[in-house]
Amino acid sequence: MTDQPPAYSGPTRVLSGVQPSGALHLGNYLGALVKFARLQHEMDTFIFVADMHAITVWQDPAKLADQTREIAAAYLASGLDPAKATIFPQSAVTAHAELAWVFNCVARLGWLDRMTQFKEKSGKHKERSSVGLYTYPVLQAADILAYKATHVPVGEDQKQHLELTRDIAAKFNHDFEAPGFFPLPEPLTQGPGARVMSLRDGSAKMSKSDPSDYSRINLTDDADAISQKIRKAKTDPEPLPDNLEALAARPEADNLVGIYAALSNVTKEAALAEFAGKGFGTFKPALADLAVSVLGPVGEQMRGFLADPAEIDRILAKGAAKARETAAPTLEDVMKLVGFWRA
Ligand code: TRP
């Protein structure tokens, strides 16, 4: 006999979000957006623009709404379908903030003190960080649990935040004597393109904060820029090997083969079978052609959507209405469980 509380037994649901705080790149595309578009065919899917998380560091108020529209345009250009997935801005659904407050009172300081992303982002001057940056993972838990989401596609770097989300869910269920009320959501971190590295350094993640634009391919790069960045990508002089073990010892080569595989939707083994024994003089032009053929249309569609911001706004408003409706009963239950006054 165990004394485990009963597990959550509600429906499965996917939820994830991207912050509107900088240009999207190939790593975001392969690691997040393509995954979201695939999952919408498998489960009820909620994808939002994390504008409340974005303001944990300064954002220009004159630009923030357009940055939000740009992420929405990238979602749509990557194949998210507003008829299938619920697409909305986080700040348009007040349930996130309301639930985050309750969760601020559930989570323990000791839990947040362990969060490595805060330590990295706050750097040497923790006392000058916003309080929001510190409680950022608590808001993330609220994003997820307001919809009782069960599956959360995120990068490896977010696993710790998902653990915190589970800890908060379990403590809430326990403290308010509501076994199985919140699910303990699982991160979905696997898949092709899960780890796209910098084109200049195979040991660092491709990142919007890398000072070198040559380290990343932006979703808005044109064909020339994409080709040039791949041509200049760091490599070694050896031809490509015929097995994954040999490839793994060469991080830059491994990264480019991984990108090729993810963009052409084949395994790395299959990509190697095609290029084993060939040098980068052959492989890079093939990769550049592939990248241009996949990303070119994505960038073009993004620009198309952005040319009609009123349509994006209609989609976001509709998504927000659906999101509010979905979160409302959960929030009402939370208010009652906590014992807040209700008329
Ligand atoms: N913290 C996530 C990131 O930087 C973004 C995010 C915010 C998120 N809320 C979320 C992701 C909820 C998944 C679920 O990538």
- Whether pLDDT at 1 is above 60: no
Q: Rounded to the nearest whole angstrom, what is the distance from the C-alpha of residue 204 to the centroid of ligand 1?
A: 20
Out of 14, 15, 18, 33, mutate this one to test ligand 1's pocket (max ligand atoms within 8 Å of CB): namely 18
Q: Residue 106 falls within a domain, yes or no?
A: yes
Instruction: Work out the mean pLDDT of the chain and round it to a whole number.
Output: 95
Is the Cβ atom of 16 under 6 angstroms away from ligand 1?
A: yes
> Is residue 209 over pLDDT 90?
no
pLDDT reported for residue 307 = 97
Is 124 among the domain residues? yes
| pLDDT confidence of residue 84 | 97
Catalytic residue among 171, 208, 234, 318: 208
Instruction: Supply the CATH number for residue 221's domain.
Output: 1.10.240.10
Q: What is the pTM of this model?
A: 0.94
* Band of residue 66 on the pLDDT scale cut at 50, 70, 90: very high
Question: Which atom belonging to ligand 1 lies closest to the Cα atom of 53?
Answer: 7
Catalytic residue status for 35: no
Does residue 164 form part of some domain? yes
Same domain, 312 and 293: no
CB environment 134-158: b (16+ within 10 A), e (fewer)? bbbbbbbbbbbbbbbbbbbbbbeeb
State whether 300 and 317 are in the same domain. Answer: no
* Beta strands 13-18; 186-188: pairing state: unpaired
- Ligand 1 near 51 CB (within 6 A): no
Question: What are 262-315's pLDDT values in tens digits?
Answer: 999 999 999 999 999 999 999 999 999 999 999 999 999 999 999 999 999 999
Mutate to test the pocket of ligand 1, among 47, 55, 161 (most ligand atoms within 8 A of CB): 161
Tell me: do 119 and 49 sit in the same domain: yes
**Within this chain, do residues 171 and 151 fall inside the same structural domain, yes or no?**
yes
121 is catalytic: yes
d(CA 39, CA 179): 28
Q: Enter the tokens of residue 189.
A: 């971190």
Residue 6 counted as domain residue: no
Tell me how far the alpha carbon of residue 234 lies from the centroid of ligand 1, in angstroms: 30
How high is the pLDDT of residue 248? Answer: 93
Q: How many domains does the chain have?
A: 2
pLDDT for 137: 98
The confidence score (pLDDT) of residue 190 equals 83
Strand partners for 151: 14, 186
Q: Which domain does 56 fall in, by range?
A: 13-195+308-338
Model confidence over 2-13: pLDDT tens digits?
Answer: 677 889 999 999
Q: Residue 152 Cα, ligand 1 centroid: separation in angstroms? A: 9
Q: How far is the CA of 58 from the centre of ligand 1 (A)?
A: 18
92 located within any domain:
yes
Q: Are 237 and 147 members of one domain?
A: no
Is the pLDDT reported for residue 125 higher than 90?
Answer: no
pLDDT at position 6, please?
A: 83
- Quick check: CB of 254 below 6 Å from ligand 1? no
